[in-house]
Chain A
Amino acid sequence: METTQQTESKIIELKPFTDEMVVNMGPQHPSTHGVLRLELRLDGEVVREAIPHIGYLHRCFEKHSENLSYPQIIPFTDRMDYVAAMNQNWGFCLAVEKLMAADESKDFAIPERAEYLRVLICELNRIASHLLSFGTYGMDIGAFTPFLYAFRDRERLLLLFEKICGARLTYNYIRIGGVSEIIPMEPGSIDEQNYLDEIESFLDYFEPKIDEYNDLLTSNSIFSERTMGVAVMSAEMALSYGATGPNIRGSGVDWDLRRDEPYSIYDRFDFDVPVAKDIPELGAVVGDCWSRYKVRMDEMKESVRIVRQILAEGLPDGPVMADLKAVRPPKGEIYFRSEAPRGELGFYIVSDGTPKPVRLKGRSPCFSALSALQELSRGLMVADIIAIIGSIDIVMGEVDR
C-alpha cells in the first residue's frame, strides 16, 4: 500500500503535464515548402517543441564545388534557391569578381551594360520570388485563389527570362565578368527595344495587380486573424538568429544591403526599404507573421520602381562581358554578401590560385531563418506552425544546399 502511493507520487512529479504526443510533419507535406520534416512534441494542440530536421535535399554543393572550376559552379548555384536563381548566380559571381579584383595585375571592369542587365533581371526575379511566396502563403492558410493569380503573373515573368537566357527556372545567366551572351541582344536593336517594351507592358499590368492582391488577401479578415500577432519575432531575436532580408525588416530593423552596403550600381537608383510598423487599428504587431508578409508585398512595388528607372534610362551601349581570358583568381579568401529575395546571401571562397576553389561556403538566409522556428513556435497551436513556415519564406534547396 505504501509503495504504490510512493510510485504514484513519483509519476506525478516526473510528468507534470498530460502525455506528450510526437507528430511528424513532413517531409512530404504540402505546406512545408519542400522536404522539411518537423518533429512536433504536442501537449494537446499546443506545440511544446517543434524540431526541424533538415538534410533531405542535401546535394553536397560545397564539397562538389571544390572539384569544379568557377564557371562550372554557377549552374549549381541555380539549384540553391531555385525560386530566385538569378540572384544566386549574381551573389556567387560578385564574390568571385571581388576575389579577382584583389589581383592588381589583371585589370578588368564589369561593363555598364552588364550591370544594368543584372539589376534589371534580378529585380524582376525578386518580384517572381515574392509572388511565389505570396501565392503559397495564401494556399497554406487556406486561400487557393491567390496562388493561381500569383502563378498567372509569374508565368509572364518566366517568359521574359526565357527570352533572355533560354531557361525558365535554372537560368545560368549571370557569369563571372558580365552576363551570358547565349542569346545575343545587340545594343539599340529592335530585339532590345521589343524586350524592354515587353517588360514595360508587364509592369503596367502588374502594378495595379499588387493593390488587387492586397484587397484579395492582405486585408482579408480570415487571413489577418490567423497571421496578425502570431509568432512575434522581436528585433533582438531576429538579430541573434541572423535572420535577414524581409524577415528582419518585418521585425522592424531597417537594414537592406542594397542601400546600406551598395554593391553593383544600386547606389544610382532611388528606392525605399519597406520596414514593418505597428498598425493598431488592424491589430498588426511588429515582428508577427503578417508584418513579414506585408514587407514582401511592399518590396514588390519597390522592385517595380527600380525596374522603371532602368527602363527610363535605357540600357547603355557596349559589351556585356568583361575581357577575361580565364577565371583564375589570386591566392586568398573572400566573403561577399548580397541581398537576395530571402535575405543576405553570402559566399566565402578560399582560393589557392588555381581555377578551382579550395573551399566554398554558402551562407544561406533560409537556414538562419529556419533556425528561429523552434523558438517562434513554442507555445503556439499546430495550425500556427503553418503560418510561421510560410511567413519566413524558406526554400529547402537553399537550406540544405
Chain B
Amino acid sequence: MDKYIRNIYKGVYTVLVGMRVTIRQFFEPNVTHQYPYQHDFEKKQNVREIPKGYRGQLYNRIEDCIGCKKCELICPVDCITITGDKLPKGEQLWDSMNVVHLKDGREVIGIIEGDDKKIMSEDSMTITNITTRLGSQEVIDRLEASGDESRTETFSTEEVSRVVTRNPVVFYLDQFDIDMSLCMYCGLCTEVCPTQCLVMKDSLEGIEYSSFDRTDLIFNFDKQEMYDKDEAENTEAAD
C-alpha cells in the first residue's frame, strides 16, 4: 500500500516537472507557421532567407556553355543529356568577348580594355562595345538613353564578382536537357563546370517548381534561336 501511494506521488510529481517545461513554452512565440497560408515572399512575412549557394533547381546559362560534357560525365544519376556537333571549319557563332558579372546580379557583355586575365587585380575596368546580344536590357537602355556612341562604361573592381571570357564558339549544341525529376541535388555538376555556367538556383524559383506532369520537369536549355537566326534569314531570302 505504501509503495502504491509512493508510486502515485512519483508519477504526479514527474509529470508536473515536465509540465513546468511546457508551460514556459506556452508564453513564447510560435516557432511554426502555416505554409503556404501565412507565407508571403514579396512582403517577407514568415519567410526565412534562402542561404547563398542553396542547392535548388539546375539552371544552365547556355551562352557561357562550352559543351565540354563534364557535367554529363560526373552526374551519378545521368539526368543531363547533351548532344552537339562542331561547326564547319572557319565558321563561328560569335567572336571572343567578356562577360562581367556584377555583384548585384546584373551582367554586362562587351570587350574589356587591357588584359582580361589580370583585370581583377586592378582598381577599375573599362568595357567597350557593350553589345545588345544577350546582354542585360537595363544596361543597354541606360546606355542608349545617354546617347553614348562608343558604348563604353567603367566599373570599379569592387562591384564586379567575376569576369568570364567567352571564346569564339565553334560548336553547336543540339540538346541540353536536364531531367529534374531524376536529379538528386548533389551539386557535383556545378563543381566541375569550367565556365561556371551550370548553377543551382538559390532563390524561390529554384525551390517551388513542382508540377503535375513529370514531363514538365525536363528542362531544355538549348537556345535554338541563337543558331537559327541566319538560317531563318536565308530561308526568307530564298522565298
A interface residues (Cβ-Cβ under 8 A, vs B) = 68, 71-76, 78, 145, 149, 152, 155, 159, 162-163, 166-167, 170, 172, 180-183, 212, 215-217, 219-222, 224
Contacts and interface: CB of A to CB of B under 8 A. Distances in A.
A162 B186 contact: no
B114 interface: no
A73 B74 CA distance: 11
B21 A212 contact: yes
A221 B11 contact: yes
Interface residues of B, number: 30
Contacts of A220: 14-15, 17-18
23 contacts: A71-B188, A72-B188, A73-B76, A75-B186, A145-B18, A149-B25, A155-B31, A166-B187, A167-B54, A167-B55, A170-B186, A172-B187, A181-B191, A182-B55, A183-B52, A183-B53, A216-B21, A219-B14, A221-B10, A221-B11, A221-B15, A222-B14, A224-B14
Nearest to B9: A221
B76 A68 contact: yes
Contact of B14 (A78, A149, A221): A221
A166 B18 contact: no
Chief secondary structure at chain A's binding surface: helix
Contacts, number: 78
Interface in B1-26: 7, 10-11, 13-15, 17-18, 20-22, 25
A172 B54 contact: no
Given A162-B51, A167-B55, A216-B22, A182 B14 contact: no
Given A162-B51, A162-B54, A145 B22 contact: yes
Contacts of A72: 74, 76, 188
Given A215-B17, A216-B21, A220-B18, A163 B51 contact: yes
Given A166-B55, A183-B51, 18 more contacts: A71-B188, A145-B18, A166-B200, A167-B54, A170-B184, A170-B185, A180-B187, A182-B53, A182-B55, A182-B190, A183-B53, A212-B21, A215-B17, A216-B22, A217-B18, A220-B15, A221-B7, A221-B11
B202 interface: yes
A173 to B, nearest CB: 10
A166 B54 contact: yes
Contacts of B188: 71-72, 75, 172
B15 A215 contact: no
Contacts of B13: 221
A216 B184 contact: no
Given A166-B53, A216-B22, A75 B184 contact: yes
B226 to A, nearest CB: 29
Nearest to B51: A163
B39 to A, nearest CB: 16
A73 B29 CA distance: 43
10 A-B pairs closest in CB distance: A183-B53, A75-B186, A221-B11, A166-B55, A72-B76, A221-B14, A216-B18, A172-B186, A163-B51, A166-B53
B17 A222 contact: no
Nearest to B18: A216
Contacts of A162: 51, 54
Contacts of B187: 166-167, 172, 180, 182
A221 B190 CA distance: 53
